[in-house]
Amino acid sequence: MERKKGVVEICYPVVLKIYKKMHLWKISVPGKDRVKTDLSRLYPGENQEERITEYYVRKLTMSLMIFFVGILLILFVALGKSEGNPIKNGWMKRADSGSGSKDYIIIGKVEDGSQYSFALTVQPRKYRQEELQKLVDAFREELPGLICGGNESLDCVREDLQLQEEYDDYPFTVTWKSDRMDVISPEGKVNPQEQDSAVRLKAELTYEEYQWETETSVTVKNQNDVIDKSEKAVLEKMLENAQASDPEQEAFMLPESIDGKKISWRQRNLTELQLLLGTLVTIAAVFFFKDRDIHELVEKKKQEEKRKYPEILQKITLYLEAGLTVRAAMNKIAEDYEQTRKKGAKEQAAYEELLIAVREIRMGVSEGAAYEKFGKRTGVREYIRLSTFLTQNVKKGSTMLLQQLHEEAKEAEEMRMRNARKLCEEASTKLLLPMIMLLLVVMILIMFPAFSNVGV
């Protein structure tokens, strides 16, 4: 496992000490057995305990780094948005005059345990006359959308309208009048009749000593509707009324109770919570999906070893036919590979495994045990079968070894051809989309001049 330079490498020794001091290696982590197997196949001949320790310490280091970065982001967002708590002793502080409205998410907790969340826009304390006129013009233009509610349009009303005293981004107190009180009440209650009903709604806008009027037409369709008078809807209306009262004050009193039950209020900030959850999810993904990456490397190594199998098999067969023993043939193959690697050739997993087996034999391990380990380390069926042939030859002196290897070489060559055809088919499939795109480009280049000359 290559050492990486940077912050992770700096933190690695500290996390390693914590890992050993707290005996974290004793914790049973899901998938640890498979990780041990994968690491032993990726790094054969090395101290596996050290490899496992290094692997998990690096994962912990990365997880801690992500955690600290997430905490820093949360603090940065919190400090960037910090303007003091707008709610103090049940009072909501207003925005300064001319600074525009401010959005808050507040939570009201009723004494009996009920809890409700509201998106509250706090308006500025006061506007200049020219600003008010612009807001009146904008209100008239946006009026249909403001009062439409859940209806398709004002020409097709089936649900209650949002005839409110206050609207977001507007400082006016709105008084509604209806020329058909039996169809639409000033509060927006819709009572469908037997026939479609046309209603004229008048809105009187009031801000301090200023007043404006605007009208709009509404068509109520013949359809009944039930209004939900839930506790939350009542609280929402109470919030609107609270903000509408005494708009010149810097703060307004939030509702203290509903139906005799006390309400406590606090501000909720979703951004920090989302960042924290995102950080934890990222840590879990890095920690557990890292195991999958290791397993994918093992599978990639197996595929590489499979591709080299026919080549190694042919070399063993060739040397045996030349009169060399199995041990001498393995030594020759390993030495040739070692020489080419010293000259700068790329490492090849299958030859590395064979080289380990040869070195084990030189160190005193029996041939049979070395060949058997060679097959198990690769985890590839073909090499396991080859190691079985070689082990049987060492133990029993099989005279059928050359014949077995010839048959195995023939089968391996067929397997290589099948794999080559499979790769060609996959390549053709991957090239299909680019070829279609190129065909479209060519067709456009050919047809565009023809169409452009049609009107000439």
Distance CA 450, CA 427 (A): 35
pLDDT for residue 225 is more than 50: no
Predicted confidence (pLDDT) per residue in 83-141, tens digit: 556 777 777 777 655 456 777 888 888 888 788 888 888 776 667 778 788 888 888 88
pLDDT for residue 230 is more than 70: no
Q: Is 371 helix (H, G, I), strand (E, B) or coil?
A: helix
Summarize the confidence of residues 332-341 as an average pLDDT.
90
pLDDT for residue 370 is more than 80: yes
- For residues 293 and 352, the model is more confident at 352
- For residues 403 and 125, the model is more confident at 403
The type of residue at 327 is R
Summarize the confidence of residues 320-334 as an average pLDDT.
89
* 332 — pLDDT class (breaks 50, 70, 90): very high
Predicted confidence (pLDDT) per residue in 260-270, tens digit: 788 888 766 55
- Per-residue model confidence (pLDDT) at position 153: 79
Predicted confidence (pLDDT) per residue in 371-381, tens digit: 888 888 888 88
Q: Is 453 helix (H, G, I), strand (E, B) or coil?
A: coil
pTM of structure: 0.45
% of the chain residues with pLDDT over 90: 2
Please name which of 352, 361, 293 lies closest in space to residue 326, comparing C-alpha atoms.
Answer: 361
Sheet containing 173-178: which strands, arranged edge to edge?
173-178, 197-207, 210-220
Run of H or E including 202: strand 197-207
Structure-token pair, residue 262: 């006390």
Predicted confidence (pLDDT) per residue in 53-91, tens digit: 888 788 888 888 888 888 888 777 766 555 556 777 777
Distance CA 159, CA 228 (A): 11
Please name which of 404, 365, 366 lies closest in space to residue 385, comparing C-alpha atoms.
Answer: 404
Tell me the DSSP string of 256-300. -EETTEEEEEEE--HHHHHHHHHHHHHHHHHHHHHHHHHHHHHHH
* 224 — pLDDT class (breaks 50, 70, 90): very low
The type of residue at 228 is D
Distance CA 71, CA 75 (A): 6
Residues in the chain: 456
Q: Is 183 helix (H, G, I), strand (E, B) or coil?
A: coil
% of the chain residues with pLDDT over 70: 88
| 14-21 own/partner pairs: CB under 8 Å, 24+ apart | 15/57, 15/60, 15/61, 15/64, 16/53, 16/57, 19/53, 19/56, 19/57, 19/60
- Which residues are CB-contacts of 317 (< 8 A; sequence separation ≥ 6)? 402, 405, 406, 409
User: How many degrees, rounded to 5, is the angle at CA 219 between CA 214 and CA 223?
Assistant: 140
Cross-strand pairs, 203: 176, 214
**Contact assessment for residue 186 and residue 163, using Cβ atoms and an 8 Å cutoff:** yes
Least confident stretch, 171-175, 178-182, 200-204, 409-413: 409-413
Please name which of 109, 15, 116 lies closest in space to residue 66, comparing C-alpha atoms.
Answer: 15
Selection from 15-24, 243-252, 307-316, 443-452 with the highest mean pLDDT: 307-316
Least confident stretch, 1-5, 44-48, 78-82, 363-367: 1-5
* 228 — pLDDT class (breaks 50, 70, 90): very low
